[in-house]
Amino acid sequence: MSEKKTEKKPDRYIVIPADVRMHSLDGEPMFTLERDRYGKPVYREELDADSKPTGKKTPALIPWTMTFARFIHERLANSKTGASVGNVLLAASIRQSLRGLGAGAVWRLEGDEWEFLVDMIEKPAPGYDERGHELPPYDPTAAINLAGYFHATLSAATSPPAVAEAEAVKA
């Protein structure tokens, strides 16, 4: 009986990028609805020119900022994740390994986890609108803002940053 030796894929290391403030293609800041702790939109009472309440309420808007963790979690919220138990376990492991890490921290992914994440980023399943029409996997405006996140993930190093920097100096 011949046994196949499976070569362990190298771990990957990502230095977590800073939060991204989202902008439209013409450079204008983008906003999103402010939400309360239950996920419901927050409304603010409008004021007139004399700073007196008008009795009219409008949704509160806040600058749209994306964190790297949210970017990763949204990539994992893909129908391909639910295609098998193995995929679900990989996604859970990825989420757990990212928990508590912020900008500048080094995130270590096992080789299988990184390959799964790359597949989710490069070839995500399409989304669907409320009428069932297929949507492209990425909104171009949002994706352009997140180019640094794509690059950081897809070009993850095979050695921790301190080791990678030392090797680059030797070369």
What is the Cα–Cα distance from 89 to 81, expressed in whole angstroms? 9
Helix, strand, coil share of the chain (percent; to 5): 35, 25, 40
Q: 137-159 pLDDT, tens per residue?
A: 888 888 999 999 999 999 999 99
Answer yes or no: are the C-beta atoms of 146 and 154 closer than 8 Å: no
User: pTM of the full predicted structure?
Assistant: 0.76
pLDDT classification of 168: cutoffs 50, 70, 90:
very low
| Rounded CA separation 121/71 (Å) | 10
Least Cα distance to 112 among 15, 5, 11, 4 occurs for 11
pLDDT number for residue 13: 96
Of 161, 169, 156, 149, whose CA–CA distance to 71 is shortest? Answer: 149
Looking at per-residue confidence, does 61 or 171 come out higher? Answer: 61
**Helices assigned H by DSSP within 22-160:** 68-76, 85-98, 111-122, 140-145, 147-154
Contact 169, 137 (CB under 8 A): no
pLDDT tens per residue across span 96-123: 999 999 999 999 999 999 999 999 999 8
| pLDDT one-digit tens code per residue, 6-32 | 678 899 999 999 999 999 888 888 888
- Do 65 and 22 form a contact (C-beta atoms < 8 A)? yes
Quote the DSSP letter at residue 95.
H
